[in-house]
Chains A and B, each alone.
Chain A
């Protein structure tokens, strides 16, 4: 489902409100107040989607969060140096099937 900008904002505020609620932080109530007018500005489809969720767990708001410390790397600029393979009986390289070539998929 593609999120509208307003729905995305609503979900972010909802997440913040729930985090603050967990900490018994009174700011949660202020966030809840902010969400009210936003709720009424949402489309019917967006409100229907929010109502259909039932009990909202934090994991459904952010189902997958990845920490990727090595995401960015320097690109390799090596140029391939080719090693010529001389065919034997018309075959370049032969591998036995015992080399883990076939599997059940």
Chain B
């Protein structure tokens, strides 16, 4: 049972954590720990990049050195400039903690002690189990 914990919520055996317009936005995979953060083109923020399983596949030419992916055996973190967007940390072989803050790239999703904030909604204490997509946007 693979679990991802973020903002007091947990996602158990969910293929995709967050999708945007029916396209995968955020996914966490195990063995080894891998993160996919796939921004769609045409966001109001004009930010675009495509990270698939820790690998930056594509980005806009004007992005400079962004995004930056830092990988270790138990953590995968994605930065935009000096701002942390996503950080997945293995708590054990089948559990990962996920820190999210996508506001810097124009998506109002972040987590804190109060919960997972999605736009003006806050998810607290939910257990998503066996979902193809736990949270769908649009």
Contacts and interface: CB of A to CB of B under 8 A. Distances in A.
Given A101-B119, A105-B45, A82 B125 contact: yes
B108 A85 contact: no
B137 to A, nearest CB: 5
Given A99-B120, A100-B119, A90 B129 contact: no
A95 B107 contact: no
Interface residues of B, number: 37
B133 A104 contact: no
Contacts, number: 99
A81 B131 contact: no
Interface residues of A, number: 23
Interface in B92-138: 103-109, 113, 118-121, 123, 125-138
Contacts of A92: 11, 14, 126, 128, 131, 133-136
Contact of A105 (B106, B109, B123, B131): B106
The main secondary structure of chain A at its interface with chain B is loop
A41 to B, nearest CB: 37
Nearest to A76: B113
A105 B105 contact: yes
B119 A81 contact: no
A48 interface: no
A87 B134 CA distance: 8
